[in-house]
A = this chain, B = another copy of it.
Amino acid sequence: MEVINRYVTIKTHVDGAPEESDFELKASAVALSLEPGSNEVIVKNLCVSIDPYQLNRMKSYSSSQKSSDFAVGIIPGEAIDTYGVGKVVISENSEFEKDDIVAGLLNWGEYTVIKPGGMLNKLNPMGFPLSYHVGILGFSGLTAYAGFFEVCKPKRGEKVFVSAASGSVGNLVGQYAKLIGCYVVGCAGSKDKVALLKEKLGFDEAFNYKEETDLKSTLKRYFPDGIDIYFDNVGAEMQEAAIVNMKIHGRIAVCGVISEYTDAGKRAAPSMIEVIYKRIKIQGFLAGDYLNIFTDFLSTTRDHLRTGKIKPLEDISDGVESIPCAFISLYRGQNIGKKIVKIAEE
């Protein structure tokens, strides 16, 4: 027996902002049988993650492609791997059985053949929707948790600024920060997002950066005594403005620079005089380095979800064919929260 597997790929490398025409939906037959002893597993993909960093993998060249196992270059025409949740269809690996719910490195398609050594784990949904395990209880959540707690080492009462605060990671950073008693301001790109941050997620303040003409003054207004922690998802002018407004011993976690992903010329040129005299730390990080705290992250976040102290923020599209549009929306600021594509029902 075989099935038709539809999957999304890039036609050629993508070196600017992505467009719908950069992608194509391909189809191939997948035999629903495995060589005995092959150790392979075939997974039906249910929910897959849509993340900004994938654009760096689509470029003809990015230094990022050399620096992490999760960031190797994507070959045009081939399937694009991503974190996701699925269901085992057939398994030659003794760790998995048919119908097991699993999480791991799947792809932007309907089925994934997991080779021996591929990243795959059984998933206990713990009563939560599967989409949570792709976002808030998956790598987006770990990124927020590790970046905030491990990189920024926050203390109660500190002043925290988060950019792209309605994004998959930013919204969680703000929620974690509120839970430990920080003052939190977020910025986002629309009135609706700003309202959501303040009204639904409990941010102390939020502003629409598109309405501001002088970001340094804007941040001064929200942080008259300075910023202790800046969780940077965007780079460029916002980073420069944050550094001017940092306090002594301030910390910046550099999580993403979406501005630089589509335009390498859009870089911050922060004052190093500020960095020196204020003893500022600017630290890049990847969630993959913090798998050792995954259990801690998961139990903490799960408990807060159950008690309603943390609210999930998801933006879900349906069907494999919606992936290009979902991905492109990230660069147009159209997503609110974690962008996920639901490929199939369980």
**A289 & B285 in contact (Cβ 8 Å cutoff):** no
Q: Report the bound CA distance from A71 to B279 in whole Å.
A: 13
**A277 & B235 in contact (Cβ 8 Å cutoff):** no
> Closest residue of chain B to A247, judged by CB?
B67
Q: Report the bound CA distance from A257 to B274 in whole Å.
A: 10
With most chain B CB atoms within 10 A of its CB, the pick from A63, A235, A260, A277 is: A277
Contacts A67-B277, A284-B277 hold; do A269 and B272 have CB atoms under 8 A apart? no
> Closest residue of chain B to A272, judged by CB?
B257
Q: Report the bound CA distance from A64 to B284 in whole Å.
A: 25
Q: Which residues of B contact A274 (CB under 8 A)?
A: 63-64, 67, 284
Q: Report the bound CA distance from A277 to B67 in whole Å.
A: 6
Q: Which residues of B contact A268 (CB under 8 A)?
A: 269, 272
Task: Give the contacting residue for A284; candidates B232, B254, B275; CB below 8 A.
Answer: B275
Q: Which residues of B contact A244 (CB under 8 A)?
A: 63
Contacting residues of chain A (246-267) with chain B, CB-CB under 8 angstroms: 248, 254-257, 260-261, 264, 267
Contacts A260-B271, A260-B273, A273-B260 hold; do A284 and B289 have CB atoms under 8 A apart? no
Task: Give the contacting residue for A285; candidates B232, B239, B279; CB below 8 A.
Answer: B279
Task: Give the contacting residue for A272; candidates B235, B286, B289; CB below 8 A.
Answer: B235
Q: Is A202 positioned at the interface, with any CB of B under 8 Å from its CB? A: no
Task: Give the contacting residue for A254; candidates B239, B255, B272; CB below 8 A.
Answer: B272
Smallest beta-carbon distance A280→chain B, Å: 5
Q: Is A319 positioned at the interface, with any CB of B under 8 Å from its CB? A: no
**A68 & B277 in contact (Cβ 8 Å cutoff):** yes
Q: Is A344 positioned at the interface, with any CB of B under 8 Å from its CB? A: no
Task: Give the contacting residue for A278; candidates B56, B267, B276, B284; CB below 8 A.
Answer: B284
Q: Is A62 positioned at the interface, with any CB of B under 8 Å from its CB? A: yes
**A271 & B276 in contact (Cβ 8 Å cutoff):** no
Q: Report the bound CA distance from A257 to B273 in whole Å.
A: 7
Task: Give the contacting residue for A63; candidates B255, B257, B260, B273; CB below 8 A.
Answer: B273
Q: Is A283 positioned at the interface, with any CB of B under 8 Å from its CB? A: yes
Q: Which residues of B contact A276 (CB under 8 A)?
A: 64, 254-257, 284-286
Q: Report the bound CA distance from A284 to B67 in whole Å.
A: 24
Q: Which residues of B contact A283 (CB under 8 A)?
A: 279-282
Q: Which residues of B contact A235 (CB under 8 A)?
A: 272
> Closest residue of chain B to A256, judged by CB?
B276
Q: Which residues of B contact A267 (CB under 8 A)?
A: 269-272
Q: Report the bound CA distance from A264 to B272 in whole Å.
A: 10
> Closest residue of chain B to A288, judged by CB?
B279
Contacts A63-B244, A67-B248 hold; do A279 and B286 have CB atoms under 8 A apart? yes
Q: Which residues of B contact A256 (CB under 8 A)?
A: 276
**B62 & A273 in contact (Cβ 8 Å cutoff):** yes
> Closest residue of chain B to A276, judged by CB?
B284
Question: Top 4 A-B pairs ranked by shortest CB distance?
Answer: A67-B277, A275-B284, A269-B269, A276-B284
Residue ranges of A at the interface with B (Cβ–Cβ < 8 Å): 56, 62-64, 67-68, 71, 232, 235, 239, 244, 248, 254-257, 260-261, 264, 267-286, 289
A-B contacts besides A277-B286, A282-B282, 14 pairs, CB < 8 Å: A64-B274, A64-B276, A64-B277, A67-B277, A67-B278, A254-B275, A256-B276, A257-B272, A267-B269, A267-B270, A268-B269, A280-B283, A280-B284, A282-B283
